Amino acid sequence: MKRILITLAVAALFASACGSLRSPQDRLTLNDKKIDAIIAQMTLEEKVNMLHSKTNMSSAGVERLGIADIHYADGPFGIREEGQPNGFMSAGWTLDSATFFPTGSALAATWSEELAYKYGTGMGKEARLRGKDVILGPAVNIQRLPVGGRTYEYLSEDPLLSAAIALEYTKGCQDQGTAVCIKHFAVNNQETNRGSVDAQLDERTLREIYLKPFERAVVEGGAMSVMPAYNKVNGDYCSENEHLLNEILRGEWGFKGFTVSDWGGTHSTMGAMLHGLNVQMTGSNYLGQPVIDSISTGALTEDLVNEKVRQILRVRYAVEAIPDDVANTVMTSQPECQEIALEVARKSIVLLKNCGTLPIAPEVRKIAVIGQNAVLKTQSGGMGAGVKALYEVTPLDGIRAKADEKGIEVSYAPGYKNFPGRRWGPAPAEPDPLEAAAIDEPADPVLLAEAVALAKDADLVIFFGGTNKYIETEGSDRKTIDLPCGQETLVQALYVANPNLVTVLISGGPTDLRVLDSICPAIVQGWWNGTEGGTALAEVLFGEIAPSGKLPFTFPARLEDSPAYAMGNFPDPNVGGDLFSLMFRPDVLKMSPEERQKFIDSLPKPVSKYTERFYVGYRWFDTKEIKPMYAFGHGLSYVDFAYEGIKAKAGKDAVKVSFTLRNEGSMPADEVVQLYVARVDSAVEWPAKELKAFKRVSLKAGESRKISLDIPLKDLRYWDEAAAAWALEHGKLQLLVGSASDDIRLSADVEI
Ligand code: BGC
């Protein structure tokens, strides 16, 4: 019979393990006395003025009292170009070119807490140079759908990996004196109807999967601000969700900072005021004059306003304001940050498949680079997460530079048309011959013939496929994960012309590789890898460094295999008009508040049911025994690693596992060791296995090292719905150590 101990005892244990240390959130309260004295001097108007936007990227301070405005910047992969005060149009500055860091899924593919910290420091530093107080990032939602428009912004399908990266990014950034605004809280997993969709899920799934990255960033990282998402969760908008904002974020996690609605994501005065929002972004129609009016009628109290202002001022005093004449005096992008971007890119590249074509052999004298993604810059596009980069080394630039050093000839052909997505503004007078009108436009015969001719004449062909930031973008989800614009036909023709073929995928999320995988001897996931992406890629292709990235999400073989699709939860057959886009229609903007409310009430109310529950990503594929194309955690190297001699024991606070890892190759290489837990004879429902610890390890050629991994007992708890609390199930655990979720090398059992 299993013993299931409900939280209290466990909670007490962890509380005492933490001793009397102040929590990182408590640091925000150090100035509370001073802040209360300042609030006492403020007029109601001055206070309410802090509860909404001042410009598109700032909220007001109080000049009379020396309180500086708060300046925000997107986030999360580079400090966004300076916009006009009233919108996102460029301000036309010259010193605002930033470092473009690898995008979210690439950062997570490093599985490196150390690099996530450095990445955060890079963002934090450049934010300070631009006078920014708060970075709108990191973006840490779980990658639930392979088609998700923001998969590339988000980190992983796994909560432990997402949480570890989110935590270190947060610490790195805030250690530089810039606050993070961790987003989008919470369950923001689709762009389809993102402004109105109601994500409906059970509490266990919410707690164990979707909230984890936020929880660690807030509780352990001391994240100073949080951005409620556009969507609803279980019936209420995130910007006025009592359960998320007041009960969990402030109540349970002890959050002391302030919340900022996503841009256009505030929905009412009373809801937002009573249920946890501090700042309306953007506009003041809810948290401006209506707040003053509600106080005069007695519907709201000034005390509530004081509390919200106190929470904002805590962050204002924790982050030093940069005077206008000090900010923006040097170029935003700094060499030390470009170096961080390079380090991350190097360790993010995932070798999916290799039948010996990589690294590029010394005999190769002529390389044909095929595919527009080899020359495409990936810094801009994708809406909020675009960066005006100081420079960007494309894959072709990187390959050319390295080939020049070695006297190798490189030729290039575009191979396929690029799909530019939805066009804003007038259509060009002449259509661009390299642009497709539709994502599924078949291969272009002229471009294909040109590419095949180059391939025939080369020793090696490197094909660059994948998507772009118009196909994977904020604001919409992909319809499929198919490779666009006839890329599969092209690869087939290239292989016939020259089987010495490598494919590099330049994309942020998974793509359907069934055709490609059956043809291509080597496949690399190259991501949108930042300012130095091409440099890092060339180092890997030419074998100067061994690839060491691991997939942060599953590549399903077929989209229909993935959980939300298989359960019929996505796409929603009853897709309605998206409230978010409708609200900004000119006729709607002209409506009176009453008319607008009537209009909103008349709209369809889209729902997204999460009946797949916690079976997200590999949790689903493993449990249902569905073979994916490439599994979570997968990534090859140019060396082999041997795993030997596992030892495991369960202690009072943690399960401890150790083993020896040996690099059996002839070059230095990194391995990411992964520890999964499977439950044996459990009375509770669990996925087949779950990631519970990991570590990136660098080993010289032939080197062995003892590796230790700990799983704190608290990380083995589950959310007990009946008790509404975390619970630890005692019993037998199977510990599975491996190089990927489908490549387990060692196992041991322990009893907890
Ligand atoms: C996005 C946020 C972003 C904000 C400001 C919104 O559309 O969802 O992630 O920070 O715009 O650009």
Specify which residues 733 forms β-bridges with. 679, 750
Three-class secondary structure of residue 407 per DSSP: coil
Q: pLDDT at position 582, please?
A: 65
What's the pLDDT band for 583 if we cut at 50, 70, 90? low
Using DSSP bridges, classify how beta strands 607-609 and 198-200 pair: parallel, antiparallel or unpaired.
Answer: parallel
Atom 4 (ligand 1): residue with closest C-alpha? 263
| 3-class secondary structure, 693 | strand
Q: HSE-up of 409 (CA within 13 Å, CB side)?
A: 8
**How far is ligand 1, taken at its centre, from the CA of residue 421, in Å?**
19
The rounded Cα 469 to chain-centroid distance in angstroms is 15
Task: Output the CA 55–ligand 1 centroid distance in Å.
Answer: 14
22 pLDDT band (50/70/90 cuts)? confident
Q: Minimum mean pLDDT among 360-369, 505-514, 594-603, 625-634: which range?
A: 594-603
Q: What's the gap in Å between 136 CA and the centre of ligand 1?
A: 8
Torsions phi, psi for 712 (to 5 deg): -60, 140
Residue nearest to atom 9 of ligand 1 (CA): 384
Residue 5 pLDDT level (bands cut at 50, 70, 90): very low
Question: What's the chain's length in residues?
Answer: 752
pLDDT the model gives residue 359:
98
For residue 455, the surrounding DSSP H or E stretch is helix 445-456
Torsion angle of the four alpha carbons 380, 381, 385, 390, in this order, in degrees rounded to the nearest 10? 0
Q: Give residue 9's pLDDT band: very low, low, confident or very high (50, 70, 90).
A: very low
Question: How many other CB atoms sit within 10 Å of the CB of residue 352?
Answer: 23
With residue 448 as reference, give the H or E element that holds it. Answer: helix 445-456
User: Are 305 and 51 contacting, i.e. CB atoms less than 8 angstroms apart?
Assistant: yes
Looking at ligand 1, which atom is closest to the CA of residue 136? 10
Q: Which atom of ligand 1 is nearest to the CA of 88?
A: 12
Grouping H, G, I as helix, E, B as strand and the rest as coil, residue 654 is strand
Asked if 143 and 89 touch (Cβ cutoff 8 Å), the reply is: no
Ligand 1 test: best mutation among 262, 281, 578, most atoms within 8 Å of CB?
262
Atom of ligand 1 nearest to the CA of 80: 12
Note the Cα 355 to chain centre separation in Å: 31
115 C-beta neighbours (distance < 10 Å), count:
23
Nearest atom of ligand 1 to the alpha carbon of 57: 5
Residue 664 clears pLDDT 70, i.e. is over it? yes
Q: Of 596 and 255, which is predicted with more confidence?
A: 255
Name which residue sits closest to atom 12 of ligand 1, judged by CA.
384
E-assigned strand segments in 230-371 = 232-233, 236-237, 258-259, 350-354, 366-370
- Cα–Cα distance measured from residue 517 to residue 520, given in angstroms and rounded to the nearest whole number: 6
Q: Please check the confidence at residue 374 and state whether its pLDDT lies above 80.
A: yes
Computed over its alpha carbons, how large is the radius of gyration of the chain? 26
Query: Are 177 and 210 spatial neighbours (Cβ–Cβ below 8 Å)?
Result: no
CB atoms within 10 A of CB 295: 18
d(CA 109, CA 350): 8
| Nearest atom in ligand 1 to 139's CA | 9
Nearest residue to 230 via CA among 202, 256, 266: 266
pLDDT exceeds 90 at position 429: no
How far is 732 from 749, CA to CA, in rounded Å? Answer: 7
CA atoms 557, 563, 565, 568: torsion sign = positive
For residue 686, report the distance from its CA to the centre of ligand 1, in Å: 35
**Angle, CA 116 vertex, CA 177 and CA 80 arms, to 5°:** 60
As a whole number, mean pLDDT of residues 75-101 equals 95
Question: Is 512 annotated in the active site?
Answer: no
- Spot the catalytic one: 133, 262, 670, 720: 262
- Which mutation among 53, 71, 74, 281 tests ligand 1's pocket best, with the greatest number of atoms within 8 A of CB? 74
CB 538 within 8 A of CB 349: no
Distance from the CA of 263 to the center of ligand 1, in angstroms?
A: 6
Helix H, strand E, coil C: the string for 8-54 is HHHHHHHHHHCCCCCCHHHHHHCCHHHHHHHHHHCCHHHHHHHHEEE
Report, as an integer, the average pLDDT of 503-511: 98
Q: Report the alpha-carbon distance of residue 258 to residue 315 in Å, rounded.
A: 7
Spatial distance between the Cα atoms of 479 and 403, rounded to a whole number of angstroms? 38
Which range, 5-14, 382-391, 664-673, is most confident?
664-673
Q: What pLDDT sits at residue 216? A: 98
- The owner of tokens 């209420």 is 236
Read off φ and ψ for residue 344, nearest 5 degrees: -65, -45
Tell me the pLDDT tens digit for each residue of 592-643. Answer: 878 877 887 777 788 999 999 999 999 999 999 999 999 999 999 999 999 9
Q: Are 218 and 226 in contact (CB under 8 A)?
A: yes
- pLDDT at 20 > cutoff 90: no
pLDDT at residue 102 tops 60: yes
Cβ-contact 4, 727 below 8 angstroms: yes
What number is the average pLDDT over the span 462-479? 93
Q: Over the range 491-521, which residues count as b (16 or more CB within 10 Å of their CB) and which as e? A: bbbbbebbebbbbbbbbbbbbbbeebbebbb
Measured CA to CA, the distance from residue 487 to residue 520 in angstroms comes to 13
Cα 517 to ligand 1 centroid, rounded to whole Å:
36
Nearest CA to ligand 1 atom 8: 262
Residue showing tokens 């005492």: 16
Residue 371 DSSP one-character state: S
Which pLDDT band, with edges at 50, 70 and 90, does 423 fall under?
low
User: Strand 501-506 and strand 460-466: pairing?
Assistant: parallel
Residue by residue, DSSP assigns 521-544 as SEEEE-----TTHHHHHHHHHTTS
72, 90, 136: residue to mutate for ligand 1 pocket, most atoms within 8 A of CB = 136
> Residues with beta carbon inside 6 Å of ligand 1?
74-75, 136, 183, 262-263, 384, 474
Whether the CB-CB separation of 417 and 436 falls below 8 Å is answered with yes
The per-residue pLDDT for range 189-224, each reduced to its tens digit, is: 999 888 889 999 999 999 999 999 999 999 999 999
pLDDT of 181 higher than 90:
yes
pLDDT band, residue 476 (cuts 50/70/90): confident
- Which pTM does this prediction carry? 0.95
**pLDDT for the residue 420:** 87
Tens-place pLDDT, residues 307-359: 999 999 999 999 999 999 999 999 999 999 999 999 999 999 999 999 999 99
For the CA of 137, the closest atom of ligand 1 is 10
Handedness of CA 167, 168, 173, 174 (dihedral sign): positive
pLDDT over 90, % of the chain: 88
SS3 assignment for 322-350: CCCCCCCCCCCCCHHHHHHHHHHHHHHCE
- The two counts, helices (H) then strands (E), for the chain are 22, 27
**How far are the Cα atoms of 27, 271, 654, 713 from residue 14, in angstroms, in the given order?**
20, 35, 11, 9
3-state secondary structure of 466: strand
Angle at 730 between CA 724 and CA 733, to 5 degrees: 115
Q: Residue 14 has what pLDDT?
A: 37
Q: Which helix (H) or strand (E) holds 629?
A: none
Cβ atoms of residues 192 and 575 within 8 Å:
yes
Q: Give bridge partners of residue 504 from the DSSP assignment.
A: 464, 524
CA 340: distance to chain centroid?
A: 18
Residue 288 Cα, ligand 1 centroid: separation in angstroms?
A: 21
How far is the centre of ligand 1, averaged over its atoms, from the C-alpha of 375 (Å)?
27
What average pLDDT does the chain have?
Answer: 94
Rounded distance between C-alpha atoms, residue 373 and residue 561, angstroms: 27
Interval between CA 262 and ligand 1 midpoint (Å)? 6
Query: Which pLDDT score, from 0 to 100, does residue 3 have?
Result: 47
Going by CA atoms, what residue is nearest to atom 6 of ligand 1? 263
pLDDT value of residue 117: 98
Task: Provide the pLDDT for residue 572.
Answer: 74
* Residue 702 neighbours by CB distance under 10 Å: 12
Domains of the chain: 2-318 (3.20.20.300), 349-541 (3.40.50.1700), 618-751 (2.60.40.10)
Q: What is the model's pLDDT at position 196?
A: 87
Residue 592's pLDDT is 83
Ranges assigned E (strand) in 558-703: 607-609, 641-650, 654-663, 669-679, 690-699
Most ligand 1 atoms within 8 A of CB, residue of 82, 237, 261, 263 to mutate: 263
* Nearest ligand 1 atom, CA 230: 8
Higher pLDDT: 383 or 238? It is 238
Q: φ, ψ for residue 662 (rounded to 5)?
A: -130, 135
The predicted pLDDT at position 16 comes to 38
Is residue 441 pLDDT above 90, yes or no?
Answer: yes
